Structure 1
Amino acid sequence: MTSEETRSNVEKALEEIRPFLQSDGGDITLISIEDNTVKVRMEGNCIGCSVNQMTLKSGVEMTIKKYAPQIEEVINIS
């Protein structure tokens, strides 16, 4: 898979999960993809949310890996 295809698939994954984040007053932005690691910025209510790490791993990372299985990790750089 090319880097463009990977980025496109990661963006599709974020579009799938974004409505759930936005319904709680949050959002997510893709910052970069480096060496099978996706860096994102959690925004809005997601910044101070006590379960944002669980959301990142159980929701965001799982959804991204569904679209781009080569991704090993998702990191929040807020």
Structure 2
Amino acid sequence: MIPFSDEDLYPAVQNVIEKVRPSLALDGGDIKLLGIKNAKVYVQLQGACIGCPSSGNTLKYGVERQMRMDIHPEIEVVNVPVGMEDQWDKLA
């Protein structure tokens, strides 16, 4: 159980995203924070990350791993597919 509210997590999550963004940019990618719900972080990989076969690894072993190290070991990161950015909070 993560002992923080979604609102409390927001600044820390933003900091981690800014931390990993340069690594994604090296390969032509980017990441956008869409929101946080029930301690799940909803992001959208962008640029060259869209459709890249390694994007799942980038999300799990790059973004989520960094958030688990910097924020809390139980935090989860979910990539929202292109076209669903307005419905991220309905994904379960």
Q: Same fold by TM-score, threshold 0.5 exceeded?
A: yes
RMSD between aligned residues: 1.4
* Residues 23, 51 of structure 1: alpha-carbon distance in 2 compared, 3 angstrom cutoff: same
Q: Supply the AA of the counterpart residue of 2:61.
A: S
Instruction: Give aligned pairs, total.
Output: 78
Please list the CA deviations of residues 15-67 of structure 1 after superposition, one character each: whole Å capped at 9, or x if unmatched: 11000001110000000101111000000000121100001000000111222
SS across alignment from 1:56? helix
2:50 pairs with 1:44? no
SS across alignment from 2:32? strand
Greater relative CO, 1 or 2 (CA 8 Å, sep 6+) = 1
Q: Normalized per residue, which structure has more strand? A: 1
Q: Supply the AA of the counterpart residue of 2:41.
A: V
User: Alpha-carbon deviation of 1:5?
Assistant: 3.2
* Residues 38, 71 of structure 1: alpha-carbon distance in 2 compared, 3 angstrom cutoff: farther
Listed as ranges, the gaps of 5+ residues in structure 1 are none
Per the alignment, residue 61 of structure 2 pairs with 58
Runs of 4+ in 1 over 6 A off after TM superposition: none
Larger radius of gyration: 2
SS across alignment from 2:51? coil
2:26 pairs with 1:23? yes
TM-score normalised by structure 2 residue count: 0.77
Counterpart CA distance in 1 for 2:48 and 2:29 is 5
TM-score normalised by structure 1 residue count: 0.89
Listed as ranges, the gaps of 5+ residues in structure 2 are 82-92
Percent identical:
37
User: Alpha-carbon deviation of 1:2?
Assistant: 4.5
